[in-house]
Amino acid sequence: MTAEEFWKLIDSTKEAGSEAQAETLVECLAKLEPTEILAFGHMWDQYHGEAYTWKLWGAAYIMNGGCSDDGFMDFRSWLLLQGQGVYEAALKDADTLANVKCEPDNASCECYPAADAYCAVTGGDDHHDYYVALEAAHGGKENSDVPAGEEWDFDDEEEMKYRMPKLYAKFSDK
């Protein structure tokens, strides 16, 4: 699967809310062969890993009124569902997310589209078989355990205003 095919598939599933889009994405992926689902899953993991940065975690913190480790995983899934343009702009400048239509505390989507589709196609009942097949086909995850970039205190309002002025203005209680 190419990057173009990956993003085209994401774009073809855009709907009003991330949860509905995630369900549609699973349905679309379930029409593919298991090897194609695994290729999509590998790309999903790569893009998800590239978004593991302190800047994006800060954006998630502002947009969602706080953000745990698990919450940041869900934020990165939400970010992928926004499409290539939003994703790439956010990687360069997380403050561009202020231009994305999103209600406060709603930049999140717990979804595992490739794993869910793989289980639907192969008859598996949990994600374990998917992850075993993904590792066999594409190797283990190469993502870092530490976010990229400079860490800072997300609870420091002045720092957040300085680093993400547009997001802070849009989502803070002021």
Q: How confident is the model at residue 143, as a pLDDT?
A: 65
Consecutive sets of 10 residues in the chain, 174 residues long: mean pLDDT of each? 95 81 94 96 95 97 94 96 97 97 88 94 87 86 79 93 95 74
Domain definitions of the chain by residue range: 18-171
143's tokens: 């993502």
Q: How confident is the model at residue 140, as a pLDDT?
A: 65
Phi and psi dihedrals of 93, rounded to 5?
-150, 100
Q: How confident is the model at residue 48, as a pLDDT?
A: 95
> For the purposes of burial, counting CB atoms within 10 Å of the CB of 152, is it exposed (0-12), middle (13-18) or buried (19 or more)?
middle
Q: How confident is the model at residue 141, as a pLDDT?
A: 64
Percent of the chain at pLDDT above 70? 96
What contacts 134, CB < 8 A, 6 or more positions away?
38, 41, 42, 45, 114
Q: How confident is the model at residue 8, as a pLDDT?
A: 95
14's tokens: 């855009």
What contacts 166, CB < 8 A, 6 or more positions away?
95, 96, 98, 99
